[in-house]
Amino acid sequence: MEAIITEANYIKTYQPRYNSITKDGKSNIYIIFTNPPDTKIKIIHATDIQSLGLDDYKKQIFGPYTSTKTAINLVKMARKIFGFCNSPFNSQNRPCFNYHLHHCPGTCISKISVTEYQHHLGLIKKFLSGKFIELKRRLNTQINNAIKKQEYEKASIIKNNINSLNQALDNKNSSMLLKLSDATEHLQPLIVKTLKHPLLQQAPVRIECFDLAHLQGENYVGSMSVFINGKALPELYRHFNIKGEAKSDPYAMKEIIKRRFNHPEWGIPNLVILDGGVPQLSIVSNQIPSYIATIALAKTRETIYYYDNNKITSLNLPIEDPVLNLLRNIRDEAHRFATNFHIKKRQKSIFK
């Protein structure tokens, strides 16, 4: 159980170059919390996430995990420790299967309110995030409050939760996991120290990357991927059809950048990544607000370029560097998104 959580958090942090789980989007397995009030816990593939229409990706998606089996085991552990409802707030007020096993807080029979159930699910979310210190502190606070209110039955249930959690973590590797918080937060400040970009003084919250796709100048399209605090938010991605006459990557990139910054309602990025090298950086930079840090990431040698005192600076990081792997992952997401859009557009043109 600890290995599963540790691996998922480390994948978010270091974006390992050779780890297949970060390469094949179809095989990525996630644990999903559907929207309230009738929140259910599901195990699905990454490609099915968008179909759920989730309200907050950051708070409702956990993973990736190496296989469906490992995710199932993790959900079973969460059910054993905390319990959750299979059919919350159903119209027939019928007890679910977990309730008969004493692993449901009674949501199916309206024993607790929607708000109380969301607080209960918050414990499972902290568990899946590896935030065990905060989780234990919260459980201890709950048990103390229950005792003060003389709600001894409730206090007994919480005590069982604490005991089950301690039992699950009772091994020699617990000390490492107890120190592990949300892994992506650790990497954000490292971006500032590694890049040393003159406009990047604080950890970038929103990172956007732009890429292009075409076949000999035909069906020219562009894409934008968006990462918030190191996590991909596919619902914020954007496609662009290249409308201009200039059929070259730098000028096509200039067009989509200009159009992107005509939409301030999309949010303002702290860091912009251009897929390309010096030509893209030099031609596109004047379309980006001067206060936004911008870099170009060339595929050939994974060289990073940016302006420092009006001069172009180049930076080559070790291939195993976690910051480089994060930047490459963001770029690969933009590339994947652009390529898929290009293929669809090309297929339509062939049919025509």
Instruction: Give the model's confidence band at 178: pLDDT under 50 very low, under 70 low, under 90 confident, else very high.
Output: very low
Cα-based angle 151, 154, 155 (whole degrees, multiple of 5): 85
Q: What is the pLDDT of residue 47?
A: 76
For the chain, give every domain's residue range. 2-181, 185-351
List residues bridging with 207 in a β-sheet: 227, 271
Residue 42 CA to residue 86 CA, distance in Å, equals 10
Superfamily designation of domain 185-351: UvrC, RNAse H endonuclease domain (3.30.420.340)
> pLDDT tens digit string along 182-232?
445 567 888 999 999 999 999 999 999 999 987 766 778 899 999 988 878
Q: Hunting for tokens 């596919």 — which residue is that? A: 234
> pLDDT tens digit string along 311-343?
999 999 887 788 888 898 889 889 888 888 888
Instruction: Give the model's confidence band at 2: pLDDT under 50 very low, under 70 low, under 90 confident, else very high.
Output: low
The predicted model scores a pTM of 0.53
> pLDDT tens digit string along 250-303?
898 999 999 999 999 999 999 999 999 999 999 999 999 999 999 999 987 889
Non-local (6+) Cβ contacts of 323 within 8 A are: 187, 190, 191, 194, 195, 317
Residue 322 CA to residue 318 CA, distance in Å, equals 9
Helix (H, G, I), strand (E, B) or coil at 208: strand
Instruction: For the chain, list the strands marked E by DSSP.
Output: 29-33, 41-45, 61-65, 206-215, 218-228, 231-232, 238-241, 271-275, 293-298, 303-308, 311-316
* pLDDT at 26 > cutoff 70: no
Mean pLDDT score, 235-249: 82
CA nearest to 258, candidates 242, 234, 245, 271: 242
Q: What is the pLDDT of residue 51?
A: 81
Lowest mean pLDDT, pick from 37-51, 130-144, 305-319: 130-144
